[in-house]
Chains A and B, each alone.
Chain A
Amino acid sequence: MAAKTFHLTVARVGENVFDGDAVSVVLPGKDGVFTVLANHESFVSELKEGEAKIEAADGKHHHVPMPHGGIAEISANQATILL
């Protein structure tokens, strides 16, 4: 059975880092590292500097460095991360 996916957008000023379906993403939240899976509850968090680990729907793994932290917003089975 295929894993459930959600739509993930990772945007940096001047460039779209990731835009597509993902199975999971691990983020360094201000209050600790958390993982977002499909159908996560609506949620906003500030992110610390660190790295976002994305598992895309096609099984590929991406590591996105976040040197200045960012903001994560999750609602309605989609996640937006602003770096």
Chain B
Amino acid sequence: MALKDIKTKIGATKRMNTVTRAMEAVSAVKMRKTQAMAFAGRPYARAALAVLTRLSGSGNALRHPLTAVREVKKLGLVVLTSDKGLAGALNSGIIKRAAEAVAPYKVEDVTIYEYGKKGEEYFARRGYTVAKAVENKRDDVPLSVMEELTRELSEGFLAGTYDEVFVVYSNFKSTFEQLPTGRTLLPLSRERVSELVADVRPAKGKWSEELELKAPSSYEVESGGDILSVLIPRLVAVSLYHMLLESKASEHSARMVAMKSASDKSKEVARDLTRLYNKIRQAAITREVSEIVGGREALST
């Protein structure tokens, strides 16, 4: 490689390092914000689960159309991915998990709801029906967006468009660990909500203790017993909202880690190239000096 080429390459690597470092810093800030949001959502999920558990444990059994278990012939799949790449193995992990989930079904039996461009691209290319694709742009998504999606999913479920709604998202474990996770959203059951709450339960800290729930023998139910029709859709929306928050926290963490390793690597490459550059330059100088000395000696004799 010519000396000039190496110099250009060092410059390019250093510029790239600036970019990845900036992205790392941005992701770090977003990560902190989304992690805080994910943590802040946990008390609500716990409280909602507690209510559901106590209700279902008492005489009032969980009877609601959204809890009806049917034989699964058609699948509704919700995939939560990010819009942008450069987040390490995050999206490919989620897509792989989603592809596993749809594998037992025929292409025409699967209806897909996409939140985030990456997943949409994948499934649209393979001929799946994408019922709805939402861009995953904002970090502060209001709950109402999830309520709307829940309405659509519930309608589809009740109308028999699909017999089960499955969600694939990325579960945030820590900054360095995000697990692609699949969960059944509908039909709703207590076990599944507890699974979700177990997922959001951190390894230690304030909310880490196991929930202990005792159900009273019976409840006085006001307003004609339709409390479940209020509680259940709400719980579904909250579950979905949670998964979104987890995905967001995962996305930014994964991107931060990916950008950190990119920055480290570019620094290393720049250092190696500089070494090489110096070596070649030194070799050229030595050669020139010896040529001059050689030429001089030839003249003097």
CB neighbours (8 Å) of A82 from chain B are 44, 47-48, 51, 234
B5 interface hit (Cβ, 8 Å): no
Distance of A29 Cα from B223 Cα, bound (Å): 9
Distance of A44 Cα from B216 Cα, bound (Å): 12
A42 close to B44 (CB less than 8 A): no
Contact pattern, B 20-51, Cβ under 8 Å of A = 1, otherwise 0: 00000000000000000100110110111011
State the majority secondary structure of interface residues on B: helix
A80 close to B222 (CB less than 8 A): no
Q: How far is the CB of B214 from chain A (nearest CB, A)?
A: 6
A9 interface hit (Cβ, 8 Å): yes
CB neighbours (8 Å) of A19 from chain B are 43
Q: How far is the CB of B103 from chain A (nearest CB, A)?
A: 34
A58 interface hit (Cβ, 8 Å): no
A14 close to B37 (CB less than 8 A): yes
- From B37, B46, B54, give the contact of A73 (CB < 8 A): B54
- From B40, B44, B55, B214, give the contact of A76 (CB < 8 A): B214
Distance of A11 Cα from B237 Cα, bound (Å): 15
A71 close to B43 (CB less than 8 A): no
B51 close to A73 (CB less than 8 A): yes
B234 close to A46 (CB less than 8 A): no
A35 interface hit (Cβ, 8 Å): no
Q: How far is the CB of A33 from chain B (nearest CB, A)?
A: 12
B222 close to A31 (CB less than 8 A): yes
What band does the interface of chain A fall in when counting residues whose beta carbon is under 8 Å from B? 20 to 34
CB neighbours (8 Å) of B222 from chain A are 29-31, 43-46
B50 close to A80 (CB less than 8 A): yes
A71 close to B44 (CB less than 8 A): no
- From B48, B217, B221, B234, give the contact of A44 (CB < 8 A): B221
Contact pattern, A 1-35, Cβ under 8 Å of B = 1, otherwise 0: 00000000101111110010000000001110000
What band does the interface of chain B fall in when counting residues whose beta carbon is under 8 Å from A? 20 to 34
The residue in chain A whose Cβ has the minimal distance to the Cβ of B60 is: A44
A71 close to B51 (CB less than 8 A): yes
- From A29, A42, A71, give the contact of B216 (CB < 8 A): A42
With A46-B223, A73-B51: A14-B231 Cβ-Cβ less than 8 Å: no
Q: How far is the CB of A78 from chain B (nearest CB, A)?
A: 9
CB neighbours (8 Å) of A31 from chain B are 222-223
B44 close to A13 (CB less than 8 A): yes
A71 close to B230 (CB less than 8 A): yes
A46 close to B230 (CB less than 8 A): yes
Distance of A73 Cα from B51 Cα, bound (Å): 6
CB neighbours (8 Å) of B40 from chain A are 14-16
B234 close to A71 (CB less than 8 A): yes
Distance of A41 Cα from B219 Cα, bound (Å): 8
Q: Which of B195-237 contact A (CB under 8 A)?
A: 214-223, 226-227, 230-231, 234
The residue in chain B whose Cβ has the minimal distance to the Cβ of A16 is: B43
**Among all A-B residue pairs, the 9 with the closest Cβ atoms:** A45-B222, A42-B216, A30-B223, A16-B43, A11-B44, A73-B51, A11-B47, A75-B216, A43-B220
